[in-house]
Amino acid sequence: MAVVTQAKCYHCGDNCGHFPIRIQDHSFCCEGCKTVYELLQAHDMGDYYTLANAPGMSQKEEVRKDKFAFLDQASIAQALLQYHDDQETHIVLYLPQIHCSSCLWLLENLHQLHAGIASSRVNFARKEASIIFHHQQISLREVAELLSHIGYEPAISLQQLQGQSKPVIDHTKRYKLGVAGFCFANIMLFSFPEYLGIDSNDEQLRHLFWWMNVALSIPVVFYSASEFYVTAWKNLRHGFLHIDLPIVAAIIVTFARSLYEVFTQTGGGYFDSMSGIVFLMLVGRVLQDKTYQQFNFERDYTAYFPVAVTRLSEGQERAVALPDIHVNDTLRIHHGELIPADGIIMSGNSQIDYSFVTGESMPVLKEAGEIVYAGGKSMGGVVELLVIKPVAQSYLTSLWNKAEMKETPPVQKSFVHLLSKYFTAGVFAIATAAALYWQLHNAAKAWNVFTAVLIVACPCALLLSNTFTNGNILRLLGHHGFYLRNAQVIENLAKSDFIVFDKTGTLTDTRQQQVHFEGDELTYQQKLQLATLAAQSGHPLSRAIVAHLNMPARSTITGFLEIPGEGMLMGRGEEQVAMGARKFIVGDATPSDPNTSVYASIGGHLLGCFRIHNQYRIRIDQCLLQLKKNFRLAVISGDNNGEAYPLQQLLGTGTDIRFRQTPASKLRFIQSLQAKGHQVIMVGDGLNDAGALKQAHTGISVSDHHNNFTPASDAIIAAASLPLLPQLLRLCRANRYIILFAFFISILYNLAGIYFAVTARLSPMIAAILMPCSSISIVAITAGFSNGLARLTLLNKPTDESHTAA
């Protein structure tokens, strides 16, 4: 009787049945799969099918046409959107069908399927797609329908509509672990007579146990171990020898040898060893995943930006951290401050710069009643904002990294590729040579030696030591108020040799400044006008003047303009109010003031100036003294040179101290240091030194209970943690030595493991235990050393009360 084979669907891989749909020598199981194929071919996207065999999702279950009709409702769509303007809309959708590189390729090429899609980026680990589309060409509903049409139906949950992040939970690996554990335990149970050396006279019972072991091993081989096959095969198709390949070889060889023995009735095989290998490897993978998740959780949810936002409560202003912002809170956003959450403007108007979100610096005027989105920057007067969606820390972090988003450096990528490739090839060569040797000298040991070598050798620890160490250092720094953009910043900090400080708001404590006014006696109306103008800005001197005047500033103004490093003004003609440097107000910068001064005028008439006596942060002198041992220091300031003496006392003679520096001259100074070969760290408040922060190899923005975050910075440090900067930098430098030590331990493990395996002193079962233990040990070593070093160098974590006048 002839065997009838059913064709497999070219798109999804399902059986096509007795009546397949055929196009161009390809078979399809349904009209849906055929339609997707035709769509991709029509847009020259046939390469999708070259990345994997049958990579698509089955289209047998059609999505009803009105399923996403609810996305046409503005209120529902608004809850899902991350950004929306006159031209484009940003959204992140959870696509649970994402499973392979073909999915990644197709979803990141959505723009070829519809001209309205501007871009699409996939987070493979979270199974999310960040899509930017032109809503005048395609609606949100049509985007969802397009994704569903090609097999990636968005999973839109109630949590998303309520502004809550959806945790991505995949229990597949645990199910596989459970099956492997069950089968492994029962195979061992049926093998007990052989373990105990009992010579049973009942051959039928012995053979029954053997065949039961065969049956129990089948789900282990074809289900529990499937992830090893998938990973190894996908990489092998692209000419890459993945580290899972030796494991696959060990499983197949052991299973084949065991089947041979059972079929020829020469023995019971090694089903216990094979199932034990799979079980223990899966235990190791699950433990690794748990470790990754814990590190990521602490990085994402406990190390928040040390940035504060002004919240209004019963008419009183209060600085609160980002996690403490909730829906229906009212926030006061000053000029130059970041909008931390989506909200509706309740009062005031401002130009909102969304370059942090869209990459294009085209400020948009927003007035009362309009919606503004997280990541925008207010470039006008003060606005009061009603929060309509919770702060998304992960979203702000992704925006921060977007400008610096780069692929893995070629050197690092080639290193990882070569290490995996040649390590795997070397392991196969050693295993084969060892097996041949023992085949000639003691054939009974050959298979065990071959299998043990394939399993015990593992470059995972070598590859992961850098990732684990960097991740833990980032976490520790975050817990001490020092939040880095990404792991590359650790390397940049470790290589630095020159630190440049801004003065105002960095070395000085803006909350302890003493202010007095010299000039005409101010009337109530003049005080009100000056307080209103000063309240628009987030500059430390403006905040000090607002606190000194202690007036109920108006929330709405007209004609506000702030020029960084010079001054600000509002109104026109006789009603124009201006404050700033002497040159900005008077046009003459000749007199040398003993203190920091802010001049004020109304209607062109000079009223006088606010004299501000700066107080330096407590312990900043000790901080600078320690930094001088390992770095060259400089201070640049937009103020006059009236404070040259106290700065010289702090820094000592020979330190480069520059006054009356504009934002442009600060930038040029950083460039001049870099031209001399210095690796420069710039530490500033992010207000008048954004250009210098961006130009430096590492820009550190100081946050002092205010929302002065700038995307130009590579790191943010809480003002309370600034005195700990020497210790924090020391921890970054120690990071490299911890990684080198982890590499040494990894190499030592592989040499020892291979030695004992080749000399037949290591069973495959023990090898399966040691392999995941090697990776877990790297976690323990890196975590132990970095945590211990952090405790030694950062014994006293600063508190908010650590800021007083020096």
State the architecture of 73-161 in CATH terms: 2-Layer Sandwich (3.30)
- Of 386, 389, 381, give the one whose Cα is nearest residue 369: 386
CB 615 within 8 Å of CB 515: no
Asked if the domains 486-509+616-713 and 514-613 are classified in one and the same CATH topology, the answer is no
> Using the 8-state DSSP alphabet, how is residue 765 labeled?
H
Helical ranges in 653-724 per DSSP H: 663-675, 690-695
> Using the 8-state DSSP alphabet, how is residue 8 labeled?
B
Helix (H) or strand (E) holding 206: helix 203-219
Measured between alpha carbons, how far is residue 173 from residues 224, 279, 284, 772 in Å? 8, 11, 11, 15
- Of 82, 88, 147, 95, give the one whose Cα is nearest residue 119: 88
Res 424: pLDDT: 73
- Residue 746's SS3 state is helix
Output the six-digit token pair for 781.
């070593």
Query: Does the domain spanning 486-509+616-713 belong to CATH 3.40.640.10?
Result: no
Q: Are strands 117-123 and 89-94 parallel, antiparallel or unpaired?
A: unpaired
- Residue 681's SS3 state is strand
Res 333: pLDDT: 85
Neighbour count for residue 790 (Cβ, 10 Å): 21
Residue that has been written with the tokens 């072991």 in this structure: 213
Output the six-digit token pair for 72.
């046409």
Phi/psi class of residue 14: alpha, beta or left (left: φ > 0; alpha: ψ in -120 to 50)? beta
The CATH number that domain 308-396 falls under is 2.70.150.10
Helical ranges in 271-349 per DSSP H: 271-301
Cα-flanking dihedrals φ and ψ of residue 684, to 5°?
A: -150, 180
Sequence ranges of the domains in the chain: 73-161, 171-301, 308-396, 414-480+731-794, 486-509+616-713, 514-613
Output the six-digit token pair for 283.
């235990």
**For residues 109 and 150, what is the distance between their CA atoms, to the nearest angstrom?**
12
Output the six-digit token pair for 580.
């700033």
For residue 435, give every residue at least 6 positions away whose Cβ sits within 8 Å of its Cβ, in sequence order, or none: 446, 447, 449, 450
Please enumerate, as own/partner, the contacts of 255-264 that have beta carbons within 8 Å and a separation of 24 or more. Answer: 255/217, 255/221, 257/447, 258/214, 258/217, 259/214, 262/210, 262/211, 262/213, 262/214
Output the six-digit token pair for 549.
């005047």
> Using the 8-state DSSP alphabet, how is residue 550 labeled?
-
- Of 512, 497, 180, 467, give the one whose Cα is nearest residue 296: 467
**For residues 176 and 283, what is the distance between their CA atoms, to the nearest angstrom?**
10
Q: Are strands 632-636 and 498-502 parallel, antiparallel or unpaired?
A: parallel
For residue 291, give every residue at least 6 positions away whose Cβ sits within 8 Å of its Cβ, in sequence order, or none: 776, 779
Residue that has been written with the tokens 């950083």 in this structure: 670
- Of 552, 508, 516, give the one whose Cα is nearest residue 534: 552
For residue 85, give every residue at least 6 positions away whose Cβ sits within 8 Å of its Cβ, in sequence order, or none: 354, 358, 364
Cα-flanking dihedrals φ and ψ of residue 475, to 5°?
A: -65, -45
The fold of the 514-613 domain, in CATH, is Calcium-transporting ATPase, cytoplasmic domain N (3.40.1110)
Cα-flanking dihedrals φ and ψ of residue 409, to 5°?
A: -55, 140
For residue 339, give every residue at least 6 positions away whose Cβ sits within 8 Å of its Cβ, in sequence order, or none: 333, 352, 372, 373, 374, 375, 376, 377, 378, 385
CB 568 within 8 Å of CB 560: yes
Output the six-digit token pair for 240.
């890459």
**CA atoms lying within 13 Å on the CB side of residue 573:** 1
CB 28 within 8 Å of CB 16: yes
| Cross-strand bridge partners of residue 688 | none
| Consecutive 10-residue averages of pLDDT for the chain (806 residues) | 58 69 74 69 65 51 67 81 84 78 73 86 78 91 86 70 51 86 89 64 79 92 87 69 75 85 82 81 70 50 58 78 82 82 85 73 79 82 84 66 46 49 79 91 85 74 67 82 84 92 80 82 89 82 85 72 84 85 78 74 90 82 89 85 76 82 87 94 79 88 68 80 90 86 82 89 73 70 80 58 38
Residue that has been written with the tokens 């509509």 in this structure: 161
| Helices and strands (DSSP H and E) totals, the chain | 26, 28
DSSP string, 299-317: HHHTS--S-EEEEEETTEE
Res 13: pLDDT: 67
**For residues 342 and 393, what is the distance between their CA atoms, to the nearest angstrom?**
13
**For residues 423 and 243, what is the distance between their CA atoms, to the nearest angstrom?**
8
Looking at residue 515, its amino acid is: V
Res 138: pLDDT: 92
**For residues 709 and 303, what is the distance between their CA atoms, to the nearest angstrom?**
15
Cα-flanking dihedrals φ and ψ of residue 139, to 5°?
A: -90, 170
**For residues 280 and 225, what is the distance between their CA atoms, to the nearest angstrom?**
11
**For residues 642 and 648, what is the distance between their CA atoms, to the nearest angstrom?**
12
**For residues 334 and 402, what is the distance between their CA atoms, to the nearest angstrom?**
24
Residue that has been written with the tokens 């210095």 in this structure: 678
Please enumerate, as own/partner, the contacts of 757-761 that have beta carbons within 8 Å and a separation of 24 or more. Answer: 757/434, 757/449, 757/452, 757/453, 757/456, 757/457, 758/430, 758/434, 758/449, 758/453, 760/438, 760/442, 760/445, 760/448, 760/449
| Cross-strand bridge partners of residue 310 | 319, 332
Exposed/middle/buried for residue 24 (C-beta within 10 Å: 0-12, 13-18, 19+): exposed
Looking at residue 710, its amino acid is: T
| Cross-strand bridge partners of residue 26 | 23
CB 17 within 8 Å of CB 6: yes
**For residues 318 and 272, what is the distance between their CA atoms, to the nearest angstrom?**
65
Neighbour count for residue 537 (Cβ, 10 Å): 24
> Using the 8-state DSSP alphabet, how is residue 531 labeled?
H
Looking at residue 679, its amino acid is: Q
Res 101: pLDDT: 59
